Structure 1
């Protein structure tokens, strides 16, 4: 059922995904308990469903609930807990709540560097996300520097042809072109 809900989400079938995820959450709470990692994952999926629809308040509330439970059950440095923090940062980012988004994303990036190491793909995703948050705050030099470091590490870890490396390279090129246009 959870996999089917995930397929619905990928297809943009939000109502069907939401209904199915809600059923899975209720079943998992009853069978596995509320703070079981699988229950929390389904709750996180439901929050993601809200986020994709721009339902920020619902996404934020559910993300906070999942985050607090994951901290208690898994610990503050567990990869799933860090994903919850990153999800909350994305919710803030998409509402233009830059300071909160930045604080959370810095926390995620620094913890991932320490726990997973700097070259881990999740750490690199955090660097990428933080660079965009900085860019949106017109902190171009910091954003560019971080994206450049992320791109170099992605080249080392994933190779030049990996989609994430290519995406980082495109971003750097776009940012360079825009800065040249702004500062002739």
Structure 2
């Protein structure tokens, strides 16, 4: 699917970027958090360039990247990233939006992991 979307739609089309984000997510789900981090970093750079910092897809990519960093053994990086994601979602989406609440919950989760000296 990715190869076809890249060929037909181009690298910056939202559907191509979504496919890349899905592939990154699945790498993490398959137990390869470091590979997921690398893939999400690339998708984030492109979404930031194409969609801007406040687009929901860019914010979602940042959140996924933060979570996978924690899973890759870097809970401090996950905390720092979720502090920023939460602040931006709060500013862009408001305090009651589901994505804002999820970011706050993920921040608390990684703060707990960091204080316990563990990762997921």
TM-score by length of 1: 0.61
Alignment of 1:2-41 (within 5 A): 24-41=1-18
For 1:64, which of 32, 41, 48 is the aligned residue? Answer: 41
Q: Conserved in 1, the CA contact under 8 Å of 2:33 and 2:68? A: yes
For 1:124, which of 67, 91, 101 is the aligned residue? Answer: 101
Q: Secondary structure at the match of 1:110?
A: helix
Shift of 1:120: 0.4
CA offsets per residue over residues 19-50 of structure 1, 9 Å max, x none?
A: xxxxx111111111011111011111111111
1:42 maps onto 2:2 in alignment: no
Q: Secondary structure at the match of 1:123?
A: helix
Name the counterpart of 1:16. none
Q: Distance in 2 between matches of 1:50 and 1:44?
A: 10
Superposed CA RMSD? 1.1
For 1:107, which of 69, 73, 84 is the aligned residue? Answer: 84
Question: Aligned residue pairs: how many?
Answer: 116
Shift of 1:74: 0.4
Q: Conserved in 1, the CA contact under 8 Å of 2:63 and 2:82? A: yes
For 2:57, which of 68, 80, 83 is the aligned residue? Answer: 80
Q: Which runs of 5+ in 1 are unaligned?
A: 1-23, 140-184
Question: Whose radius of gyration is greater, 1 or 2?
Answer: 1
Pick 1 or 2: higher relative contact order, CA cutoff 8 A, min separation 6: 2
Shift of 1:136: 1.0
Shift of 1:57: 2.7
Q: Secondary structure at the match of 2:115?
A: coil
Q: Which runs of 5+ in 2 are unaligned?
A: none
Q: Secondary structure at the match of 1:101?
A: helix
Shift of 1:127: 0.4
